[in-house]
Structure 1
Amino acid sequence: MSPNPPRRPSSPAPGSRPGGRPADRYGDDGTLRSALVPGILGGIATLVGTGFSSSSGGFTVIRYVVAILALIMMVFAVQAKAFVWVLPLAAAVVLWNPVVAFHLHGTWWGIVQLLVAALFVVAGVLIKVPADDGR
């Protein structure tokens, strides 16, 4: 008989996650990149919006999509306590607000659209929400 009793499967080893796998396997640091998908979709929507005139009906749809995705990412940034992303995302919500729309156009508006597309992707990669393991 072995000196150590067998471990029950319901109690994970110290320093491991449920299921018995170690916490650092494959770079798992206990966080989720919940803002990654909205960030990529927001970046794509912003880039697609560069092809529309700011007064067209298609751009109104882009305004809704970008504003909603920026709000979703703001929630994830607050959950992750990454407050540095809240203000730039709030600026994106204001600029792409479909209800009280700013009718901006020209070269500067195109540059802002490219910068906000980059903001979405970078914030999506860097915002890490703590995983709730139910511990």
Structure 2
Amino acid sequence: METEQKEMMCKYKKIICKIFGEQIQVIGESSVIGPMGQFQIRFLYEPTKIYVTLDADRGVFTLDLKDEAKDWNTLYRIKKFDNCMTEKCLENAAVILKQVLEENKFPLYKSENDKLYKKQDGTYRRIKDIYAELAGGE
């Protein structure tokens, strides 16, 4: 199983690098495959210095975004996609990721003093109602 996961990790890196070209670089990856096939690959999107982590676990993957200030979001919160751990799904997600990163209009979040803040266009705003935020409102 570990050999299959390492091959999948290699394929996933190639897919993302093919879609992004020189705009993205691999900056790290799991040295050990987890018991349930978990692994991570970390990338840096050069134009806006956004760190992207591909986290694969139990047949699905996530794409997490973080800036240099460690403010974060996940691609699935920005735009929905099928996250089954297949090459086709990853390819579709990588195309969506590239569009989102190129547009650079997505929010990032940070938690400070037990409060949640949303950063949009470089400005922070406190999230007072997390349920409204999750529903897409203010």
Structure with the bigger percentage of strand = 2
Q: Same fold (TM over 0.5)?
A: no
Q: Which has the higher contact order (CA 8 A, sep 6+)?
A: 1
TM-score of the two chains, using structure 2 as the length reference: 0.28
Structure with the bigger percentage of helix = 1
Structure number with greater Rg is 1
